[in-house]
Chain A
Amino acid sequence: MNAMTGNVLDIAEELRGQELPGDAPIGRQAQPSITPPRRRRRLGLGEALTFGPLLGPGILLLYWCVFSYTGWLDPRILPAPWATVATARDLIADGRLPANLTVSAIRAGEGLVFGVAAGLAVALISGLSRLGGYVFDSLVQMKRSIPTLALIPLVILWLGIGEPMKVSVIALSVFIPIYLQTHNALRGTEIKYLELAETLNLSRWAFLRDIVLPGALPGFMLGLRFAVMGAWLALVVVEQLNATSGIGYMIDLARTYAQTDVIVVGLVVYALLGLSSDAAVRFAEARLIGWRKTLS
């Protein structure tokens, strides 16, 4: 009788012990065993190196030097690195590179500013309201399935071949990634935060300012990285179209005179612009989003 009713407490403890999932059987730890030194497989990426990202470009440069020096690479196909450096120095000295670079940078910058502003504005309208989503989202998805470069003939007919056309094409190709990533991030706000906001009696504005917008910032920054790359790509294309200034014009002119070294300088400049602007966006991203703990 005592055993039946006396000690529910103890029985409950016993039951609890049995219910614990994955609990080791009693006595297993008492057995003597020789444990080898702990060597666990680490699944992280290991320590980051400060200049690690330069490894790939370094290897490429090394091959380029070796092949040029040994003469395996015909200078008419690809001039030697040192010849390219000399050409670059000349181009800087006579002012052609700085002038064209400035024109190109302004062009890309204008396109980026207009494209980001428009993409962000439409993404906010369409991401934050049902009606806005119904009006704009399908339209942008339709636009998305047409490559921006395919729109160039139409844009030329509408705006001519001057600067407005060039800036518009760049802005169009910036608009899409900004819109897509921002809209996706805004609509991805988790319901649990909505519930929290409602129980805290937040106003709609406070809900947007404190929860939805900061939560969508990583998505926007990702869109910005795609957008910056898109801006440089579009720039390359529009500068081959009847331009009279810019890096693309410099390259096109060099093609006419078969100046391979000038073409290479132009391409390297494009690559450096792309890399440095991406690095700038990533730097801003790291500063703005310090609250995350990620693999990188």
Chain B
Amino acid sequence: MNAVVRVRGLVRNFTLKGVLNGVDLDIAQGEFVALLGRSGSGKSTLLRAIADLDTEAKGSGEIVAPSKLAVVFQDARLLPWKRVLENVTLGLAGPDAKARGLRALEEVELGARDRSWPYELSGGEQQRVALARALVREPALLLADEPFGALDALTRIRMHGLLKRLSQAHHPAVLLVTHDVDEAIELADRVVVLDDGRIAANLDVRLPVAGPEREDAFADLRRQLLGLLGVEAELAGLR
């Protein structure tokens, strides 16, 4: 296995978003990993550590990650003073930067909005621009921190399809932080469950392509993951 990301014995204390108590994680080239956990389980802390954004955190451990990485945040984080295309090409060098940016915008179906200001776009459109800004750099690793968390349910379903298509086309390794079990099963090859700063489970979730087998497998995984997140016990209690 050709690992793009290699995390060993990662410990992070004194963070606001949840601690890590010794995490090991490998992500292979082109593999789509969903990181699932409750709030405060440390999933954002792990993503920020891999992205090298946790300058103030204290801790230890080893992280190997490619320098060609891109991050999609929960807020689209577009610069309000740059038009959509300039947001996508931010920091890109070379004479073909503009053409590449336009191509990326077309890939997220926003090719006609290149001259718009960010405030003129809907939340889903803004997040698609953020996706284009990440993918135009052809990253070896795409880190996404609950990218669809602020979107409505219908937009989220459309974004799932888009992200799936794009990750198949560009084939980066992906680490998707989410608390949505369906999203994790739908998109990922593998789901890693984080609980209390440790990895609680590591499940292969590649499903049959279609048909009743797929639905059964989906339901099965869903039950298993909800159980790992401690939701099943609460459901039983409600009964």
- Give A contacts to B, CB under 8 Å: 3-4, 8-9, 11-12, 14-15, 192-193, 195-203, 206, 210-211, 214-215, 217, 289-293
Contact flag A8-B238 (CB < 8 Å), given A206-B91, A210-B90, A291-B117: no
Looking at the assembled complex, report how far the CB atom of B201 sits from the nearest CB atom of chain A, in whole angstroms: 17
Stretch in B25-33, B69-77, B98-106, B162-170 touching the partner: B69-77
The docked-state distance in angstroms from the alpha carbon of A11 to that of B219 is 12
20 contacts between A and B (CB under 8 A): A4-B236, A9-B222, A12-B231, A12-B235, A15-B235, A192-B77, A196-B77, A198-B53, A199-B53, A200-B70, A200-B91, A201-B91, A202-B90, A202-B91, A203-B91, A206-B91, A214-B81, A215-B79, A292-B80, A292-B119
Contact between B219 and A8 (Cβ–Cβ < 8 Å)?
yes
B215 to chain A: closest residue by CB: A9
The docked-state distance in angstroms from the alpha carbon of A290 to that of B82 is 10
With contacts A15-B231, A211-B79, A290-B117 known, what are 4 further pairs, Cβ within 8 A?
Answer: A4-B239, A11-B239, A195-B71, A291-B80
B48 to chain A: closest residue by CB: A195
Contact between A291 and B236 (Cβ–Cβ < 8 Å)?
no
B226 in the interface (beta carbon within 8 A) = yes
Contact between B81 and A217 (Cβ–Cβ < 8 Å)?
yes
Contact flag A200-B75 (CB < 8 Å), given A4-B236, A8-B219: no
List the A side residues contacting B222 at CB < 8 Å.
8-9, 12
In order of increasing CB-CB distance, the 8 nearest A-B pairs are A214-B81, A199-B71, A200-B91, A202-B91, A8-B223, A291-B81, A11-B235, A291-B117
List the A side residues contacting B236 at CB < 8 Å.
4
List the B side residues contacting A292 at CB < 8 Å.
80, 119
Looking at the assembled complex, report how far the CB atom of B108 sits from the nearest CB atom of chain A, in whole angstroms: 17
Contact flag A9-B239 (CB < 8 Å), given A192-B73, A193-B77: no
Looking at the assembled complex, report how far the CB atom of B60 sits from the nearest CB atom of chain A, in whole angstroms: 22
Contact between B238 and A15 (Cβ–Cβ < 8 Å)?
yes
B220 to chain A: closest residue by CB: A8
Contact between B90 and A200 (Cβ–Cβ < 8 Å)?
yes
List the B side residues contacting A197 at CB < 8 Å.
91
Q: Interface majority SS on A: helix, strand, loop or mixed?
A: helix
What is the total number of residues of chain B having a CB less than 8 Å from a CB of chain A? 32
Q: Which of B120-172 contact A (CB under 8 A)?
A: 133, 137
Looking at the assembled complex, report how far the CB atom of A195 sits from the nearest CB atom of chain B, in whole angstroms: 5
List the B side residues contacting A14 at CB < 8 Å.
238
Looking at the assembled complex, report how far the CB atom of B41 sits from the nearest CB atom of chain A, in whole angstroms: 19
Contact between A215 and B81 (Cβ–Cβ < 8 Å)?
yes
B232 in the interface (beta carbon within 8 A) = yes
B49 in the interface (beta carbon within 8 A) = no
The docked-state distance in angstroms from the alpha carbon of A9 to that of B220 is 10
List the A side residues contacting B23 at CB < 8 Å.
none
B51 in the interface (beta carbon within 8 A) = yes
List the A side residues contacting B226 at CB < 8 Å.
8, 12
B234 to chain A: closest residue by CB: A15
List the B side residues contacting A206 at CB < 8 Å.
91
The docked-state distance in angstroms from the alpha carbon of A215 to that of B79 is 9
The docked-state distance in angstroms from the alpha carbon of A9 to that of B185 is 14
Looking at the assembled complex, report how far the CB atom of A13 sits from the nearest CB atom of chain B, in whole angstroms: 11
Looking at the assembled complex, report how far the CB atom of B55 sits from the nearest CB atom of chain A, in whole angstroms: 9
List the B side residues contacting A199 at CB < 8 Å.
51, 53, 69-71
The docked-state distance in angstroms from the alpha carbon of A293 to that of B121 is 13
Looking at the assembled complex, report how far the CB atom of B228 sits from the nearest CB atom of chain A, in whole angstroms: 13
The docked-state distance in angstroms from the alpha carbon of A196 to that of B222 is 34
From B79, B91, B118, B238, give the contact of A11 (CB < 8 A): B238
List the A side residues contacting B77 at CB < 8 Å.
192-193, 196
List the B side residues contacting A196 at CB < 8 Å.
71, 73, 77
From A12, A193, A214, A291, give the contact of B119 (CB < 8 A): A291
List the A side residues contacting B81 at CB < 8 Å.
214-215, 217, 289, 291
The docked-state distance in angstroms from the alpha carbon of A3 to that of B71 is 43
List the B side residues contacting A15 at CB < 8 Å.
231, 234-235, 238
Looking at the assembled complex, report how far the CB atom of A216 sits from the nearest CB atom of chain B, in whole angstroms: 10
The interface bits of chain B over 195-239 (1 if a CB of A lies within 8 angstroms of the residue's CB, else 0) are 000000000000000000000000100110010000110111011
From B53, B79, B219, B231, give the contact of A195 (CB < 8 A): B53
Looking at the assembled complex, report how far the CB atom of A220 sits from the nearest CB atom of chain B, in whole angstroms: 13
List the B side residues contacting A290 at CB < 8 Å.
117
Contact between B235 and A8 (Cβ–Cβ < 8 Å)?
yes
The docked-state distance in angstroms from the alpha carbon of A4 to that of B239 is 8
The docked-state distance in angstroms from the alpha carbon of A14 to that of B71 is 34
